[in-house]
Amino acid sequence: MRVALVGDERPAVRASLEAEEEVELIGPPGAFVVDGDGEIPQLAAALRAFESQFDEERVDRVVLADSSDLSLAAVLVATKMLIPVGALVDRGSDQGEGGPSGMNARLIELLADAALGDDGAAVAAWLREPQQPSQAAREH
């Protein structure tokens, strides 16, 4: 199973995923071409890069480790492509209601198929569960 891990590095999560025999971890796309300045061109470039990567590398699941713009792009593309998405939830942090990170967090929460604990065991257990295509994608 190919799993894309996107967002801030979480050593315990990475270690648990690497220990899973049938899991091949894939990082986010490397550098990608951004046409213009600002957040919108960057997000558009990330969307194109994830769509190409998820298709070429046949990604089976996506795990989001934060609520960055890169994670938002990944969940949007995964939902479109019917790839199940699990989002790590750090119960101890306050992501705030305002600003881009807070908005991203709310969108990711709505689109992700599972809210996972911030530990490798929760992620590994979710990967072992049979998955249906993204709930958000099936509703549209």
pLDDT in tens, 14-67: 888 888 888 998 888 876 777 778 888 888 999 999 999 999 999 999 999 999
Mean pLDDT of the region 66-71: 91
CA angle 62/29/70 to nearest 5° reads 65
The pLDDT of residue 99: 55
Out of 6-10, 61-65, 72-76, pick the least confident: 6-10
The pLDDT of residue 94: 46
Give the strands of the sheet with 85-89, arranged side by side: 24-26, 2-6, 61-64, 85-89, 114-117
pLDDT above 70 (res 134): no
> Domains along the chain?
2-93+105-135 (3.40.50.2000)
What pLDDT, in 10s, does the model give residues 81-124? 999 999 997 655 544 555 557 899 999 999 999 999 888 888 88
The pLDDT of residue 55: 95
Q: In terms of Cα–Cα distance, which of 44, 87, 83, 50 is closest to 65?
A: 87
DSSP H/E element including 39: helix 39-56
The pLDDT of residue 13: 86
